[in-house]
Structures are given as structure tokens and as C-alpha cells.
Chains A and B, each alone.
Chain A
Amino acid sequence: MESESGLLEQSINSRYSLWVQEALNELPDSFTVTDPYISGQPIVFASKGFLKMMGYSKTEVIGRNGRIFQGPGTCRRSVMEIREAIREERGIQINLVNYRRDGTPFWMLFHMCPVFSKEDGRVIHFVAVQVPILRKPRRRNGVGLVYEEESRVNESVYGSCRREVCSDSLVDLGSALSLECALDDADNRGLEIEETCEASELEKQRAASSMNNILSVLTHYSELTGRLVCGKRCNLTGVGLLSSSLNISLGRIKQSFVLTDPHLPDMPIVYASEAFFKLTGYARHEVMGRNCRFLSGEDTDSSATYRIKESVQNEKACTVRILNYRKDKSSFWNLLHVSPIRNASGKIAYFVGVQMEEACKNQDGHGLSPEMRQLSAVGAVRIAVRSLSMGAGTSKS
């Protein structure tokens, strides 16, 4: 099984070779690279410029999600728009309030682009360039809202650490910013941050040209591994590949489960959760693309496997007690729940199989029974897949 830090490092190195980190660090820009196929969409690379600007060390940032830089002053709608851009696998340029390690907020132009695999068209990484916006009060903000007043916030609030902002007596002032909003002019004490801020053309160009430089480095180094990437989506040819957004949604689900694709020959596994690897001892590359039967062994009751087969054929859910085997050949009783999962067209897109080790049945999870956790995983998978391939055929602006 891959260790977590190994997984993060491999994300970059296996795609762009070992030398890419050095080349990326030679770029003066401030940017991060995230991997949507690792649970939690963690940062797998952060440039020197980014670390310097944010005041973090490399180890504090790698493996974390980009939302750690957001705070009470970050506009919720902008966060939603970024989330939607990730879901739709498209680029976005938006003004955003981020927080340095010492708790100071600042406006920056956030420019994010997906990086696609040339081979199968899926998203490999997201690159996010951050360009600090020089203070220039404007009446419009990045998402087109118009406010009449200018905002200033007491410096002492934002000079303090964020935890303190929350608990100290100035809490009211601090949270006011969360609304990307203006404060009464009467309250002005010391100039800190504008409620709205628009990047200049120059800053927008800077972000775009940084992005081009990064993409060309990534493209160049991907040639070394033969696993080419590009900044524009090529035709999605990879069958059985899950979109990056579905991976992100599924990554939240902590139970052991797999998704199999009934439209592909022999119903291969197209997704397996971290807990599945932990339970079975297999690594990702050892299970993806394979039919689940490798979990069975010589003492597995064929009537159990038959019941699973039957429920798949009838497109019905079932729960089966089945003897399964780990990679090390040790066996365990698996209370397996299998159910069809439908997409936006209402058709079956996958089958989910949620494993539950019988021996761990009494394990307590905040009062939730293992059966309830199993069903909650099924529910969460249904919601994640429900909007899949929605709006196909409609134009996306």
C-alpha cells in the first residue's frame, strides 16, 4: 500500500519525472498544483513563491486542501464558483481573499486551470496561480457585485491570528468581513482590506502568462515520462475512467467500497476507497480494472457469489455474507451490500459494493452501527453520482 506522502510525491514525479520540481521552483510565480484523484484533493506541489507569499513551509502545505488559506473574509459565493469550476473541470479566474499563515488576509487574483492527460482526456491536476492584487479600491468586485461603500477593517483584528479573531472581543468586526462586505464609514480605524477588489488588466495578464509558463513546463516534462499532458481537453477516450469531480466527492466517504462499471466487459472496478485498500491489503493499481472476484478464494461459498450475480442481473440491491480473502491470503467474513447507482439520466451508471468486516461489527463509531455506516456510504455515493452526465447536450457557458 502506498504511504500518503509517497502518494503525494508520486502524483507529480510519475507524471512529469523527478526533475520537474526543480524546474517549477525556478519559476518566480506563486502557484500550487492539486491532485483531484487523491482523497481530499490535496496540494501536491507548492512553488517557492507561493510559500514565501503565504508564510508557510512546504511540509505544512503539501497534502492539505487549498481551503486552508480561506477564512472568514473569503466570499462564500466565490468559493462556490471555484467548487463548480472544479466540478465542471474548467478554468476560472476570480478575485479572492486568502489568509497568510500569520492570519493576515489579502486580495489576490486566483487563476485555476485543469491539466488534462493527452492520452485519455481526463483531468490529471489543477494548477492554481495566485497573483496578489495591489490595493485599489473599486466599486465592483470580481463577481460583478456592486457596493456603495468602501470597507476598512480595524488592523488589530487581522493582525491577530485567526483563532484569536474568533474568540476575542473584536469577533464581530472580524466576521463582518466574511460577507465580503462594506463596513460603516464611522467604524473606520486604520486601513486594512477592501471589501471588493478588482484585479487590473496587468494582473490578469500576469496570471495568464504565469499559467502558460507553468503549463509549458508541465507539458515539456511529461514528455520525459511519455505520459503527456496538455492544457486543453482532448477527446475523452478513456473508458471506465471517473471524472475528477466524482473522485473528489467519493473521496469524502470513509467506508470501504468499490464502484464497478456494468457497461464494460466483466464489470471492472473503476473506483476503490482508501478504506478498501486498508481492509484488503491491495494497492490501487492491483485492483483497478479488475472484477471483484479476486476477493474470493477456495472456501468462498459459490451460492453467495451467485446471489450477487443475480442481484446485479435484476438491477436490485442485496446484502450477502461472503468469505473474502486479503492479499496476504487471510480470510474474513464480509457483510457485503451491493446496489445499482444511477446518474442524471436515471440509468444505472455503476454498481456500488460496500464491504463490512463481520469481526469489526461491534466497533463503535459515535453511536452509529456498522450497518448504518454502510447505508450512509451508499446514500453518499448515490448523491455523488446523481448529477453525473447531467446537462449533456446542453451548452455550458
Chain B
Amino acid sequence: MVTVDQLQGDNFSSQCGPLSLKGVRIPLYRFGCNSVLDDGCVGGDACFSEEEEEQSLLDSILLAQWEDRMWKGLFRYDVTTSEIKVIDGRRKFIAQFNEGCGTDCIPKLGKSKISQGLFEFSWLDRQEELLFSVARGEQSNPELVLAADVPDSALLITVNASPVEYGHVFLIPYCSNILYQFLDAKSLELALCVAVEVKNYSFRLFYDYSPSASHIYFQACYFQIPLPVEFMPSDTFFIDGQKGMLISSVADYPIKTLVFESNHFKLMLEVVAEICSSLRGKLILYNLLISDHGRKIFLFLQQQTSKTSCTLSAWECGGYFLFKSRSAFDQSTEKNLLKQLSTVSIDEEGFQAVKLLCSNIASKFTS
């Protein structure tokens, strides 16, 4: 396992295995250059009145491509056959009974792809798993090219053959045969653009930081109802009125969680990327959950100890759990899940330090 110190030599990316997409022609979705990220503000009339009235182009492409692969039998199981339920209790945790998923701890990321819980780039022998790529565009409106080379600074969208929910995909930052090793503002921006342009309340994006990962990737899927953490009240401790940025701590939740809200995506993602980079330097494990059309970013803070046998994924931190056995599913209680979450959480002292760190970084960007 590579240690964090070793990795820190490089600034943001490094070569990680030869990844040649030469000759690979897949659909390409280009963001419009009038993206809300450039306006810096989502307060537009149109955003509020027309949103959700119909499927966006990106939403349609993602669903169509995913459904197409389901139809072609690329998945290890049909995730819609697995039962889901709300667990009794105040937090309304969600449980899924899924015999096909990996362990109860970390869902398996696909055939021959699991190596210490990490996604490996072995999919090229099965190109159908590559759905399409996403990149910035020059046109004012978003466009779809049905077959194109993967451009530089793109996100590769591939299926997860062991989906946790419908539409489960990997979003892999890609730049001229290089995969990113660390989360930076550039890759976070692309992911956030996807969340904004899919424009679907059910769509949620995830990022799990793992010190041993060879390269970074996001994950996304559709949850028809919000994750339990999204309903929790929060206490705001950082407010910047001028730039419109809020940082709050989620109250009454077993794992220490922060939530970032802003209508200025650019500012928010720069702050979050900087915070993530600092957390990496401090050996703090974290996960991100992006919801509400990219307007909210949840940051879950986990401790890294030898006692913690496994870390939780971002959806588990958000309150969505998978169970491999029927009995574990039937017997799951809020109490057990609370314990599972609180076990991995950083302690109060560490949390206060992270809050201070966030305030400092956010002030730096907003001043």
C-alpha cells in the first residue's frame, strides 16, 4: 500500500498505468459554455421556474446508456430486484437487501476490479462498460456528439457492474492518458457540472477518499428519495454574505458531517477542493456527497486507525446501507447503524479542528 507521504511529491496528477483511449470512439457530451458554473450564480429565474419540468439532455443520455447496458446484460445483477426499506426510527435509515453486492462493508466495484477495495482500470477489455465522456464545450448550449475521441480534461463515465442503485456509474477524471491521483478543483468542477446539468433531484454524486487509491474517481446513482443525512438539521458556523457561502455542521448525526452550500459553484468547489487537499495532508479520511443539483456538498469525516477494519462509502455515511444476507437485512436496527457510523467517525476534538480549518480556508477564498 502506498503511503500518503510518498504520493505528495506530485502536485495533482501522475501517470498511473498506460491508459490509452486511442481509437476509442464513444458518445461525448459537451457542457454549454453558458454553464451556471461560469455565471457563478444559480439564482436565475429560469433555474427556479423551469427546473425538473422535463429530463435534461445529460440525464437522458445517462439513463439511456445505462438502460442499454442493462438490456445487454452487462451487470452482475438487476439492482431493481433487490428490496429496499426504511428502518424504523427517527433518522429513517435506508436498507437494501442485495445478495449480489460485495461485502456489507464496501460494495464490490466489479468483476476482477477489486483490489484492496479499489477500482482498477481493467475495463478496457470490455469496452461496453464505457458509456460516454463529458467535457467542456465552446457552444452556448450543451451538445451531444454520438461518436468522438475522448478529449483532454474529460470525465469518463463507466458503469459499475455491481450497482448499488439504478444508474450507478463511475466518473473518472481523465487527461491525456493520465488519470488524476488527487482530487483537485479541476476534477471536482467537472463532477459538479454533471450534478448541475443532470438536473434531477434523484441524482447523487459521491467521492470516497482512499489513501491507497491509484487514481481518483467519483460515483453517482439515482436515489428516488433523499438520503437520511439530508433531512438532518444543521448549525451554521461559517457565513460569507458577500460571496454567498455557508458551512454548517450536521446536528444529531452519528458521523461528524459538514455541509457546504452556495449558489456560487466556482467558489464552493475551490473551497472544498482546498479543504480536501488539507485533509489528505492530515491523514483524515473523508467522503463527499453532492446533492440538490450540485447546490449542496456533504463532507463526512472518518478516522483512520488500525482498529477500523474498513471505511464506509459515502452512501453509507449518508444513511443508505446494503445487506448481503436476508437475516442481517431483517434484523437491521437504527441502533446498530448508529453504532456503525459513530465507530468510524472522527472524534469531537478532531472535528473542531476540521471546522476551524474549513473556516480558515473559506475565509481565505472569500476575503
What residues of chain B lie closer than 8 Å to A374, measured between beta carbons? Answer: 64
B292 is an interface residue with CB less than 8 A from chain A: yes
- Given A181-B239, A346-B81, the answer on whether A386 and B68 have CB atoms closer than 8 Å is no
CB distance from A204 to the nearest CB of B (A): 20
> Interface readout for A363-377 with B: 1 if CB under 8 Å, 0 if not?
000111101111110
What residues of chain A lie closer than 8 Å to B242, measured between beta carbons? Answer: 172-173, 176, 184, 187
Q: How large is the interface on A (under 10, 10 to 19, 20 to 34, 35 or more residues)?
A: 35 or more
Residue pair A394, B84 in contact (C-beta under 8 Å): no
Taking a contact as CB atoms closer than 8 A, the residue among A70, A83, A146, A367 that contacts B235 in the complex is: A146
Bound-complex Cα distance A178 to B143 (A): 30
Bound-complex Cα distance A183 to B239 (A): 7
Residue pair A345, B246 in contact (C-beta under 8 Å): no
Residue pair A380, B55 in contact (C-beta under 8 Å): yes
> Interface readout for A360-397 with B: 1 if CB under 8 Å, 0 if not?
00000011110111111011101110110011001101
Residue pair A175, B55 in contact (C-beta under 8 Å): no
Residue pair B85, A391 in contact (C-beta under 8 Å): yes
- Given A145-B235, A175-B244, A368-B60, the answer on whether A71 and B48 have CB atoms closer than 8 Å is yes
Taking a contact as CB atoms closer than 8 A, the residue among A171, A184, A344, A369 that contacts B146 in the complex is: A369
What residues of chain A lie closer than 8 Å to B53, measured between beta carbons? Answer: 40, 65, 252
A163 is an interface residue with CB less than 8 A from chain B: yes
What residues of chain A lie closer than 8 Å to B145, measured between beta carbons? Answer: 367
A120 is an interface residue with CB less than 8 A from chain B: no
CB distance from A26 to the nearest CB of B (A): 30
List residues of B (55-105) whose CB comes within 8 Å of A's CBs.
Answer: 55, 57, 59-61, 63-68, 71, 80-88, 90, 92, 97
Bound-complex Cα distance A130 to B41 (A): 28
A68 is an interface residue with CB less than 8 A from chain B: yes
List residues of A (174-207) whose CB comes within 8 Å of B's CBs.
Answer: 174-176, 178-179, 181-184, 187
> Interface readout for B93-134 with A: 1 if CB under 8 Å, 0 if not?
000010000000000000000000000000000000000000
B44 is an interface residue with CB less than 8 A from chain A: yes
B202 is an interface residue with CB less than 8 A from chain A: yes
Residue pair A143, B233 in contact (C-beta under 8 Å): yes
A125 is an interface residue with CB less than 8 A from chain B: no
How would you classify the secondary structure of chain B's contact residues: helix, strand, loop or mixed? mixed
Bound-complex Cα distance A378 to B63 (A): 8
B224 is an interface residue with CB less than 8 A from chain A: yes
Residue pair B88, A387 in contact (C-beta under 8 Å): no
Residue pair B226, A76 in contact (C-beta under 8 Å): no
Residue pair A175, B41 in contact (C-beta under 8 Å): yes
What residues of chain A lie closer than 8 Å to B66, measured between beta carbons? Answer: 379
Bound-complex Cα distance A26 to B69 (A): 57
> Interface readout for A62-83 with B: 1 if CB under 8 Å, 0 if not?
0011011011101011001101
Taking a contact as CB atoms closer than 8 A, the residue among B48, B142, B243 that contacts A68 in the complex is: B48
B43 is an interface residue with CB less than 8 A from chain A: yes
Bound-complex Cα distance A379 to B85 (A): 21
Taking a contact as CB atoms closer than 8 A, the residue among A345, A375, A387 that contacts B64 in the complex is: A375
CB distance from A294 to the nearest CB of B (A): 27
Bound-complex Cα distance A184 to B68 (A): 51
CB distance from B198 to the nearest CB of A (A): 12
What residues of chain A lie closer than 8 Å to B295, measured between beta carbons? Answer: 76
Bound-complex Cα distance A137 to B318 (A): 33
Bound-complex Cα distance A254 to B55 (A): 8
CB distance from A155 to the nearest CB of B (A): 15
What residues of chain B lie closer than 8 Å to A394, measured between beta carbons? Answer: 85-88
CB distance from B235 to the nearest CB of A (A): 6
Residue pair B261, A179 in contact (C-beta under 8 Å): yes
Residue pair B166, A179 in contact (C-beta under 8 Å): no
A166 is an interface residue with CB less than 8 A from chain B: yes
What residues of chain A lie closer than 8 Å to B63, measured between beta carbons? Answer: 375-376, 378-380, 383
> Interface readout for A222-259 with B: 1 if CB under 8 Å, 0 if not?
00000000000000000000000000010011100000
Residue pair A387, B43 in contact (C-beta under 8 Å): no
Residue pair B44, A252 in contact (C-beta under 8 Å): no
Bound-complex Cα distance A175 to B44 (A): 10
B136 is an interface residue with CB less than 8 A from chain A: no
Bound-complex Cα distance A48 to B241 (A): 36
What residues of chain A lie closer than 8 Å to B224, measured between beta carbons? Answer: 249, 383-384, 386-387
What residues of chain B lie closer than 8 Å to A162, measured between beta carbons? Answer: 43-45
Q: Which residue of B lies closest to A384 (CB)?
A: B224
What residues of chain A lie closer than 8 Å to B234, measured between beta carbons? Answer: 145
A283 is an interface residue with CB less than 8 A from chain B: no
Q: Which residue of A lies closest to B145 (CB)?
A: A367
Excluding A145-B235, A165-B43, A254-B55, 7 further A-B contacts by CB distance (< 8 Å) are A40-B53, A76-B296, A145-B233, A176-B244, A344-B85, A375-B67, A386-B224
12 A-B pairs whose Cβ atoms sit less than 8 Å apart in the complex: A71-B48, A80-B226, A171-B40, A179-B239, A346-B83, A375-B68, A378-B67, A379-B66, A379-B167, A382-B80, A384-B224, A386-B222
A-B pairs with the 6 shortest C-beta distances? A379-B63, A183-B241, A72-B43, A391-B86, A367-B144, A387-B224
